[in-house]
Each structure stands twice: as C-alpha cells, then as structure tokens.
Homo-oligomer: A and B are copies of this chain.
Amino acid sequence: MSADRAVLQVREIGSMHVGGRSASIDGLPLREITFSPGNPPVRVDPNGEFEIEQMYVQYVRLAAPRAHQPLLLVHGGGLCGVTYETKPDGQPGWQSFFLHAGHDVHVADAVERGRASWARSPEFFGGEALFRTKAEAWELFRIGPDGSWNGSALASAAHPDTRFPVLRFDQFMKQAVPRWASTDAAVQAAYDTLARDQGPFVVIAHSQGCNFATGMALAHPDKVRAIVAIEPSGFPDPARHALGRLAQIPQLFVWGDHMAHSALWLRVRQGLDDYRAQLRAHGVTVDVLDLPAMGIQGNTHLPMMDTNSDQVAALVQDWMLLRGLTR
C-alpha cells in the first residue's frame, strides 16, 4: 500500500506542548542518585517547581492541503497518538492515510500520555497509575469475546472473522501507556486550550477521546468543525451541558463488529444510541457508519489498526467530502 502512494509534499513537521501550569512540591526527603555510569552520584532534591498537565501535539502540514481545516487525531484511553501512526502489522495507519488524502494532520498525546509527560502521583495526579493488561485489552477491544483471553494471543480464541492482526497483538500492546482515573478535568482543560489556540479543527477521536473531543466542541464550538467519533466509549452528561451548542458541528459515529459478544459494549452502545437521539433532538446532524450493517464484518474497537483500516478511513473521508469539510 505505502509503495503505491505518491510522495508527500510537506511544508512543515513540528510539535508543541499546550496548556498546563506551574506547580510546586516540598517536604520530600533528599536522594543521592547515580544518573550516568562513570559519573559520581548526584544529590537530588525532589522538591521544587515543575510544569504539569500540559499535552503534546505533533503536526504535519502539507504544501497544498485540500481540506479546509486541519485534522486533529485524538486517541483513546490507555493509548497515545501512536494509535494513528504505523499499525502494529507495519502497514501505514490513519495519519498517513489522511495526509495522502490532502489533510494537514495533528496527532495529540493527552495529558499524562506519551510525550505529554505525567506528573508525580499521588501528589499531583490523584490515585495510582493504571496499567491495562493484555486480557483486558483483548476483550475490551473486542478482538475476542468476553472470557476468551487465555494467557497469550496465540492461545486465545479471537473472533474467527476478526480484522485485527492477531499475530501482532503483542506489538500492539507495546503502544499501551498508563493512565489515571483522576485526570479527566486536566485532560479536558488542555484539549480546550488546544482548540482555542490552534483550532479550528476537524476532530477524529477514538473511544475515551470522543468525550474529550465533544468537550472541546462544547467549550469552543467555533473551533471544532466536525467530530468523527470512532467507537465512542462515553459522552457528556446531557443534563449538565447545552448540547444545542453543537448544532453547527456535524458528527459521524463509526461502529465495529461483535458488540453482542461484550457485555460492556452492549451497555456502552445503548448509552451512545440514547445520546445520539439527544444530539439530534438538539439539532445536531449525526450520521452513523455501522460497519457490520454495511456488510463489513470483523472490525474491532481499533478499526485504525485493523487490516482493512484504509477501507474504513475511506468511508470517513467520503463523509468529510459529503459534509463539505474537504474537496
């Protein structure tokens, strides 16, 4: 696939940290640490000033983009922007697809994830870091049905028609990053700053990230032109937010396969179906790509990593054309 693609004409590759604040800590004891072999130990005072709660964004800007606004790719929980880069099977991912489709592409690492860095816990981030097990990923991402994990990908029963490159499951798990359950407000604040200062964007978000993308749009509706929600896992409470603020922001929900084999996803999907009805009642245009209903079987919670990722991306691109977001 990549060999067939044209050379990209790139104007700029860059990155930035956005948001965050200065914070300080005191009262911790001194340490003596040897940082580099060959050097004497250094006395380290862990107390002092830090920057915390910033996020990271990397961008590739084309010499002649065809899309009217840049794309912002927002990852899901326990992951970072690598979600959209080269896939675990070594094939090009959605960052590459949408660059070749003529979009300037920004890829985010939320607060606490990847290159955004993370802050001392529990002093700054409450609670403890959570590390997703392979078992949880296998079932949460619907590579196999509930209860199918059996110690390794090879020993576990995947859905027979799964589009996930099962032999590369361990390679995928190398992308996993720890998360906290206590940092949502800081994550949202950084995304809101990103929208305010760098928008407008068309946002493609995955799973947990759909909630933050919607938060950005609620905070700065003039800075989010559209939301593509890939397998959204949560949503803003309609009782606490004025969903009418989203009326000018078309949304696309994209759903993979095998919901019926996951108790969690049956619940999540029902919640999102109800939320979609609320959005429509507030005048929001919401389209749905239900892949299995269209005859596209076997997609997981990670369609951007499945073997047919380009097929799904092309459907998203078609929707962006339909909604006048690119040409």
Which A residues are closer than 8 A to B by beta carbons?
A: 2, 7-17, 20, 22, 31, 33-40, 42, 44-51, 54, 56, 58, 60, 63, 77, 80-82, 85-86, 90, 92, 95-96, 99, 109, 114-115, 117-120, 129-131, 133-136, 151-152, 170-171, 173-178, 181, 184, 208, 211, 233-237, 264, 267-268, 271, 275
Given A15-B85, A15-B86, A56-B82, also A36-B211 (CB < 8 A): yes
B14 touches A92 (CB 8 A): yes
16 residue pairs of the A-B complex, CB under 8 angstroms, read: A7-B11, A9-B9, A12-B92, A14-B92, A17-B82, A22-B170, A34-B181, A35-B77, A36-B77, A36-B234, A37-B234, A38-B211, A46-B130, A50-B133, A51-B134, A114-B114
- Contact among B51, B109, B184, B267 with A115 in the assembled complex (CB-CB below 8 Å): B109
List residues of chain B with CB within 8 A of the CB of A176.
50-51, 117
A152 touches B234 (CB 8 A): no
- Contact among B51, B63, B171, B178 with A170 in the assembled complex (CB-CB below 8 Å): B51
List residues of chain B with CB within 8 A of the CB of A115.
80-82, 109, 114-115, 177
A233 to B, closest residue via Cβ: B36
List residues of chain B with CB within 8 A of the CB of A35.
77, 181, 208, 233-234
A39 touches B174 (CB 8 A): no
A49 touches B134 (CB 8 A): yes
A123 to B, closest residue via Cβ: B131
